[in-house]
Chains A and B, each alone.
Chain A
Amino acid sequence: MKYCLSSWTVQFISCGIDLFYHVVISHGQTEHLGKFPEGSVYVFDAITDADMRVCAERSYPYVNVAQPGNRGMNRDAGLSYVLSSYAVSDDDVVEFFDGDRYPTTYRPEAVQELMDGHDIGCMLYSCDRDTRHGRIYVPLRGATLVDTGTLCNPFYSCGFAMKVGAIRKVMQFNGGSLFEHRFTRWGCEDQYLGLVCERQGIRVALTCETLLNGDVGGDQFTHSDYRESLQQYVDIIREKGIAVRNEPRPSVEL
C-alpha cells in the first residue's frame, strides 16, 4: 500500500508531490507496530505470533526474513518489497525506520520540500536525544547538510529518508543492494552507506522536521562485538578502495 498524505491528495496531482514509502525493521518490538506511518512495510527477522496477529488485524504488509540480526539485509528486504510491489519513480522517497525509533514528530511534507529544494538525496532524521560526541547543530526547522565522507561520519540508519533515485545509485555501486550485507553485527552498516553516498555524489542532510523516539549515540558502548564491526568496516573500505577524509567539510545549514 502506498502512503499518501490524504489531506494533500489534490496537491499531489497538481504539485507532483513525491510519494513516501516506509520500511520498518522490527525485532521484538510488537508494541510499536502501530506507531509508524500508515502503509509501512514491516520486516521481521524473528516474527512472533503477536506480530502476525497485529499485522493481520490491521492489514499491515510485512516481510518475514529467515536470518536474524542483519539490519542492512533486513532493510533491503523491505526495500525489495516496495520496489517490486509499487510503481516507484526516482523522485519518490523511501523512509527507513528501526522498530523502536518511531517518529514522535512527523512532517514528511517539510522533508520533501527540503529534499527537493536542495537536491538532498538522503535525509537523516534526528532523535529526541542526541548524546553523541561532536554534535552537529541542526535547527528545529530546516536541515543541515553534512559530510559523510569521513571514517566515522554522521550517517545513522535508525531513521532516514532516501530518494529512490539515490537508492538506485548506491545499489549500482553495491552490486544490487542499498546496504552492504557483510555487516552482520550491530554498527557500521550505516556509516559505510554514508561513505558510499559521498562517493556517488549523493548529498546527505540532517533534519528535525521528523524526530525519532530515543537517542542517537552511545549504543556502541553496549555492544561488546563492536570491534568486530569496526574491523569489517575497515576491511570493506580498503577492499572497495573507498577514499576516506580525515577532515569533514563544514556543515551547512539549509
Chain B
Amino acid sequence: MKNNPNQNVHDDYTAGSVFKPRAANRLAESIHYDFVVTQEQWDAYLSAHTGATGVNLGDVIASNADGTDNTHFGTVLAPVSIYIAANTSDMPLNLSSRLMSATAAADGPIVDASAYADSGVFKMPVTDGAINLYSAYPYTVEAVVGGINHWSTPQARVLFQDAHVINGVARAGAYATDSNINYQSISDCVIICQRLVGGEGFSISPDAGTLASPDYVPPVIYADWTSGSTYGSLHYYIRAVDTTAPGLYQQVKMSVSLGTEPSLVEGHSTAAYFYSLAKNTNTEVSFVNMELGMVLHVYANGNVSRELILHEDSVVVSDYDVTDIPLLFDASSTLGYYAKSLIKTGTNGYDWARIQVLRNGAFCTITEDCPDYTLGTIEWYSADVGGIDTTFKFKNSRTLDLYRWQSVYSVNDSMWPTSNHHITNSNSEWFDNARNTLPIDADDLAEGIVYTVRIHTMVLPFPEYDDTSNNPHLIESDTPLFRQAVDDSRYKFKLLFVSQNGWLEPAYWGSTTVNTNDASGGTRHVKVTQNTLTSTGTGLPVGQIPPRDTLKEAMLGEVLFVKLDGTVYIMRY
C-alpha cells in the first residue's frame, strides 16, 4: 500500500499508529490541501439549496459563506488535493463540470485539468490523478469521472452510476474495519470491489514493496465480479465497522487489467447474488490468521505476493475452497448490503474441500505432495484431493500446519438477517470441512526426526447485515464447535500412516495397545486431541461469536511423532 504521495513518508509511523484517528489526522494535516470542504460550509450550502438531490462538489467549494452560489471563483491547475471534512452522507456528489473540466474556461471549473486532456478528453491513465480526493466520511459519487483518485476514507461507499469504460475506474481503498485495530490479533480489513458492467476488469494487487507500515497486511481480501446488464451501476464498497473515528487511512492501489472474465456460479438458487472469483492471472485471495502470523496469499498462477511467516522446515496446508468466496450482494437495495463468508455454492453443502500446500514459500501442485489421488479437471488451486489413498509427504519439512475451515451456511434469513438473528449451533447451519483425515507417507519420514502436526480449525468471517442507517443487526451464534465434545465424530481429526506395504500401525507411548485412539476397520489411526481455544486473544469466546468477527481459530490439536527403526511412535497427541 502507498501512503499519501503528496507527503513524505514518515518513517517513525508504526503499523499501530497509522490507523489510529489521531495519527491518521496527523497525516491528513501534513498534506497540502488546495480545498477543504468543512462541515459548516456543507451545512450552509444545503441550507441554501434545499431539496437538492445531487451536489456538484465544485459548487460547494465555490459557494459563499451563507451557502449561496458563487459563480466567480478562481481556477486552480491540476493536480489538486481536496479534503472533504464534512459528512456528506448519501448526497451524491458530482465530480465533473464545475469541479473539474478537461477544458479551461473562465468562471468555469474549479480545477483546470486541461493539461491532462487532449481535445477535451482526459488522456492520462486512470492512475494519474488530476484530483486527489480525500474524505473523512463516506461519500457517494454520481458518476465515474476520469482523473480522480479516490483516496482512503474510513468508510466509503462510492456509488457510480452509468459507468463509462473510457473514463476508467476510480480507486478504492483498503480500510481497517475497526479504528482500534490491533494488527497482531485482529484481521478485519476488507477491500471490496465490484464491477457490474462490462468493460475493463480489474485486479487487486497490494503492492507489498511499498508498504508504509510493513507489519500491516490486509488480512482478508474479497473480490467479486459479476457481469451482465442487470445492474446499471458500478459499485465500490469499502465497509468499516466503526464510524465514530474518521480519519485518513491507508490505501491499497488497484490497477485495471483487461481480460477479466467474471462468471456466475451455476446451480445456485440465488445465482444472482452469488459469484465466484474468476480465474484470472491477477486474481488473488488471502486467508490469514493474524494471531498466528500466517498469511496465505494466493495468486492464480501460484505465486505469492506477500512475505509469509513460513519457516524453512514447515509446511502449511490450507484445506478450503478458494472459488467459493462470494461477496454477497443484495442488488435489491441500492445502498448495498453484503456479507462475507466462505460458502460452498450449490445445493449439496460443503461436502468437498480443496487443498493448498505451501512449502518453502511456494505453493505446490497437489500431485507433488499428494501423489496418489485421481481427479478430473484440475485447477492449480482447486483440486479435490480425493479419497483415502492420498498421502502427505513431509519431504525435508518437520512441521505441518493444517488449517481446516468452517463457515456459516444457510441460504435463508441467517445469511440475510433482517433483524437480530440467532444462528444456532444446528449442524445444518454450518459448513464444515468434511475432510477429517490426513494420511501421512510413513516411508517418506526420516528416521529419528520428531515431526509436528498441528491441526487448526478456523471459523470464517461471519455474515453481517446493516440497515440503511449502517446499524448492524446483532448476530449471535453458537458455533457447534463449542457445543459438541471435541471428540464428537463430526469434528475429530485423525492422522494415519501409510507405507508402501499398506497402513502402518503407530505405537503410542511405546506401545501399540496402550492408547486412546480407535481402530477403524483394522487401521489404527491417531485421534488428535483438539483443544478448544477460548481466550479472547486467540480464539472465539465460548458460546458466542461476535458479529463481524473475522478469522478465528476455534480449536488446535498437536501431534508429535518420530520414526525409529521403521516404527512410528506417537509422542504426543
| Cβ-defined contact, A150 with B509, below 8 A | yes
Q: Looking at chain A's contact residues, is the secondary structure mostly helix, strand, loop, or mixed?
A: mixed
Min Cβ gap B509→A in Å is 4
Q: With A and B bound together, what is the CA distance between A231 and B516 in angstroms?
A: 24
Give the distance in Å from the alpha carbon of A247 to the alpha carbon of B569 in the complex: 11
B507 touches A230 (CB 8 A): no
CA distance A172 to B360 in the complex (A): 45
Q: A227-B560, A230-B562, A238-B448 are in contact. Are A246 and B512 (CB under 8 A)?
A: yes
Whole-angstrom distance from the CB of B362 to the nearest CB of chain A?
25
Interchain nearest-CB distance for A234 vs B (Å): 5
5 closest A-B pairs by CB: A150-B510, A134-B514, A152-B509, A246-B507, A151-B510
* Contact (A227, B450) CB under 8 Å given A234-B562, A244-B564: yes
Cβ of A9 < 8 Å from any Cβ of B? no
Task: Indicate if A220 sits at the interface (CB-CB under 8 A).
Answer: yes
> In whole angstroms, what is the CA distance A244 to B569 when docked?
11
| Interface residue? B341 (CB, 8 A) | no
- Please encode chain B, from 416 to 435, with 1 for each CB lying within 8 Å of some chain A CB and 0 for all others: 00000000000000000000
Expressed in whole angstroms, the minimum distance between the Cβ of A229 and any Cβ of chain B is 9
Select one of B507, B512, B516, B562 contacting A133, CB under 8 A: B516
Distance of A149 Cα from B509 Cα, bound (Å): 11
Chain B 490-537 residues near chain A, CB threshold 8 A? 507-516
Q: Which residues of B contact A248 (CB under 8 A)?
A: 510-511, 514
Question: Cβ of B511: which chain A residues have Cβ within 8 Å of it?
Answer: 134, 150, 246-248
Interfacial chain B residues near A231, Cβ < 8 Å? 449-450
How far, in angstroms, from A153 to B449 measured CA to CA in the complex?
19
Q: Is B567 an interface residue (CB 8 A)?
A: yes
* Total count of chain A residues near the partner, CB < 8 A: 22
Q: Tell me if B572 counts as interface (CB < 8 A to partner A).
A: yes
Asked if B452 is at the interface (CB within 8 A of a chain A CB), the reply is yes
A231 to B567, CA, bound (A): 16
- Contact indicator B515/A230 (Cβ below 8 Å): no
In B537-565, the 8 Å CB interface with A consists of 560, 562, 564-565
In angstroms, Cα B560 to Cα A245, docked, is: 18
User: B560 contacts which chain A residues (CB < 8 A)?
Assistant: 226-227, 230
Chain A residues in 8 Å Cβ range of B15: none
**Candidates B510, B516, B571, B572; contact of A245 at CB < 8 Å:** B510
Contact B571–A235 (Cβ < 8 Å): no
Which chain A residues lie closer than 8 Å to B507 at the CB level? 151, 246-247
With A133-B515, A244-B564: A234-B448 Cβ-Cβ less than 8 Å:
yes
Within 8 A of B (CB), among A55-98: none
The range of chain B's interface size is 20 to 34
Q: How far is the CA of A196 from the CA of B514 in the complex (A)?
A: 22
Instruction: Identify 29 residue pairs between A and B in the complex whose beta-carbon atoms are under 8 Å apart, listed by A's number.
Output: A133-B508, A133-B515, A133-B516, A134-B508, A134-B509, A134-B511, A150-B509, A150-B510, A150-B511, A151-B562, A151-B564, A151-B569, A153-B510, A226-B560, A226-B572, A230-B450, A230-B571, A231-B449, A234-B562, A237-B564, A238-B447, A238-B564, A244-B510, A245-B510, A246-B507, A246-B511, A247-B507, A248-B510, A248-B511
- Which residues of A lie under 8 Å from residue B515 when comparing CB positions? 133-134
Chain A residues positioned under 8 Å from B562 (CB to CB):
151, 230, 234
Residues of B within 8 A of A234 (CB): 448-450, 562, 564
Contact flags (1/0) for B377-407 with A, using CB distance below 8 Å?
A: 0000000000000000000000000000000
Q: What per-residue 1/0 map shows which CB atoms of B441-485 lie under 8 Å from chain A?
A: 000000111101000000000000000000000000000000000
A sample of 6 more A-B contacts (CB under 8 A), given A151-B569, A234-B562, A246-B510, is: A133-B509, A152-B510, A152-B569, A234-B448, A237-B564, A246-B512
Q: Mark A210-251, 1 if CB is under 8 A from B, else 0.
A: 000000000011000011001100110110000011111000
Q: Please, how many angstroms separate the alpha-carbon atoms of A248 and B571 in the complex?
A: 15
- Chain B residues contacting A220 (CB-CB under 8 Å) are 572
In the assembled complex, which residues on chain B have CB atoms less than 8 Å from the CB atom of A151?
A: 507, 509-510, 562, 564, 569, 571
**A239 vs B450: C-alpha distance when bound (angstroms):** 15
- Chain A: which residue is nearest B566 at the CB level? A246
**Chain A: minimal CB distance from B123 (Å):** 60
A156 to chain B, nearest CB (A): 12
CA A238 – CA B446 in complex, angstroms? 13
Alpha-carbon separation in the docked complex, A126 to B385 (Å): 48
Shortest beta-carbon distance, A94 to chain B, in Å?
26
* A237-B516 Cα distance, complex, nearest whole Å: 26
A220 to B567 alpha-carbon distance, docked (Å): 22
Smallest distance from the beta carbon of A73 to chain B beta carbons, Å?
A: 23
Closest A residue to B573 by CB, please name it: A133
- Inter-chain CA distance A189–B511, complex, in Å, is 20
Q: Of A230, A237, A238, A245, which is in contact with the most chain B CB atoms at under 10 Å from its CB? A: A230
Q: How far is the CA of A149 from the CA of B515 in the complex (A)?
A: 17
A133 CB contacts on chain B under 8 angstroms: 508-509, 514-516
Give A153 to B447 CA distance when docked, in angstroms. 20
Least CB distance from A160 to B in Å reads 19
Cα distance, A31 to B108, chains bound together (Å): 86
Min CB gap A82→B, angstroms: 31
Q: How far apart are A136's CB and chain B's nearest CB, in angstroms?
A: 9
Cα–Cα distance between A29 and B512 once the two chains are bound (Å): 39
**Per-residue B-contact encoding for A135-158, CB less than 8 Å = 1, 0 else:** 000000000000001111100000
CB-CB under 8 A from B567, the residues of chain A are 246
Complex alpha-carbon distance, A80 and B512, angstroms: 39
Given contacts A151-B509, A152-B509, A227-B452, contact A246 B569 (CB under 8 A): yes
- Beta-carbon contacts under 8 Å, B13-58 to A: none
Nearest Cβ distance between residue B557 and chain A, in whole angstroms? Answer: 11
The winner among A152, A221, A231, A248 for most chain B CB atoms within 10 A is A152
Q: Please report the C-alpha to C-alpha distance between residue A221 and residue B529 in the assembled complex, in whole angstroms.
A: 11
The closest CB in chain B to the CB of A134 belongs to: B514
For A160-186 the 0/1 string (1 means CB < 8 A from B) is: 000000000000000000000000000
The winner among A134, A220, A245 for most chain B CB atoms within 10 A is A134
Q: How far is the CB of A238 from chain B (nearest CB, A)?
A: 5
